Amino acid sequence: MDNFPWDVDDLRTAPVGLGSSFGWESRKTLSPSQLSKGFSCMRSWALPYLLGLRSPWVQGAPVGLATHWLLEQYIKTGSVKAFTLPLPKGRRYAGLGDGDEQLARDAARAIMPHIPVPSDSLSPEHKLTLDTTRWMRDTKIEWEPNCSMDLAAPEETVPTVFDYKTTGGNPKRKDRWCYVPTPDELVQDAQFNIYCASLWQQLNDINGYDGPIRGSWIYVSKLRPVVARTISAMWTPSNVWFMGWLGLARDMVAMKNQEANDVDFRKIKLPVVPEDAGYRDIPCNSYGGCVYHSRKGGPCGGVREATT
């Protein structure tokens, strides 16, 4: 059974509580967030993205969606009045709770000083178009249609990709930024590498640009008062993590090309972590716990596998 609470050879025996969204269509597309999830724990990636088990107990991030929408309107109109516009209707924003709408507006205002003044040269929701065959001739990655950079500034002195993030920090310790990466950690990030490489490739194709790309990740603290901090790092094609992420993408696409019923889920291993790893360093426990773990009502009873 390999630590699973039911027969993993036939996941269709899963309890009804997992929801009717359990399906067997294997999507062939990838995204930077999928790469990050697969790197952290291949099982937590395989359940939703390989075997089609969507977790109905996982809610979206309507505050983040609302913040992104407000900033997009600000960049398009060039007016701070955009931050007072009524939010769009629809289920994507339906989860906004009491105070969430104001939090989104405050977050957008906090991010504003960290991005360029609106102009025609800015490109909000800039589409990811990275052609991986330029780097690995045998592998063509099809990216998810909705993959886009929050903001691209291709005409900056150093062309820049901007990404907006929220962080809850640690309210008990009153530490806003404890989960924010350092610049050295940012250069290892999947999204940083894939988005920066995409903008670099676009500019290289247009005008032969071969310089660096700056990635500026703007983190908004949800603790009051709402403030923002920018973490920046430079990307070049020589970034060793970039080719590592492309190699992982190639392996994940190969898995997706299998028929769902042919996947031996027991061979998709749990993450290997050091013996001295802290509780939150184990993917099963991080960020409030993996939603696919049995403790959260999911099918994985994963236990820590330690290095020797």
pLDDT in tens for each of the 308 residues of the chain?
A: 344 343 444 444 443 333 334 344 446 789 999 999 888 888 888 877 877 676 554 444 788 999 999 999 999 999 999 999 999 888 778 778 778 999 999 999 999 999 999 999 999 999 999 999 999 988 899 999 989 999 999 999 999 999 999 998 888 888 999 999 999 999 999 999 999 999 999 999 999 999 999 999 999 998 999 999 999 999 999 999 999 999 999 988 888 877 655 666 666 766 766 666 666 567 777 766 787 777 777 777 765 544 43
| Eight-class DSSP state of 141 | -
Q: What is the pLDDT of residue 176?
A: 93
> Which residue reads 């939150």 in tokens?
280
Question: 289's torsion region: left (phi>0), alpha (psi -120 to 50) or beta?
Answer: left
How confident is the model over 171-189, as pLDDT tens digits?
Answer: 888 899 999 999 999 999 9
pLDDT of residue 30: 93
Residues 6+ apart with CB under 8 A from 78: 117, 118, 119
The pLDDT of residue 7? 41
Inter-axis angle of helices 62-77 and 100-111, to 10 degrees? Answer: 40
Residue holding tokens 């109905």? Answer: 56
**219: which 2 tokens?**
């983190």
The confidence score (pLDDT) of residue 9 equals: 42
Check if the beta carbon of residue 52 is closer than 8 Å to that of residue 25: yes
3-state secondary structure of 61: coil
Rounded to 10°, the helix 190-207/240-256 angle is 100
Q: What is the pLDDT of residue 11?
A: 46
User: What is the number of helices (H) and of strands (E) in the chain?
Assistant: 7, 7
- Contact (CB, 8 A) for 70 and 105: yes
Distance from C-alpha of 146 to C-alpha of 150, rounded to nearest angstrom: 11
CB atoms within 10 A of CB 165: 19
pTM listed for this prediction: 0.85
Confidence at residue 143, expressed as pLDDT on a 0 to 100 scale: 94
Query: What pLDDT, on the 0 to 100 scale, is given for residue 238?
Result: 95
**So what's the pLDDT on residue 22?**
39
DSSP codes, 13-37: GS-GGG-TT--------B-HHHHHH
Residues 135, 292: Cα–Cα separation, whole Å: 34
Helix ranges (H only) for 215-266 are: 240-256
Query: How would you class 301 by CB atoms within 10 Å of its CB: exposed for 0-12, middle for 13-18, buried for 19 or more?
Result: middle
Query: What tokens does 134 get?
Result: 């330029």
Q: What CA–CA distance (Å, rounded) separates 86 from 100?
A: 13
Q: Which residues pair with 273 in a beta bridge?
A: 306
List the beta bridge partners of residue 167: 221
Residues in the chain: 308
Main-chain dihedrals φ then ψ at residue 148, nearest 5 degrees: -150, 155
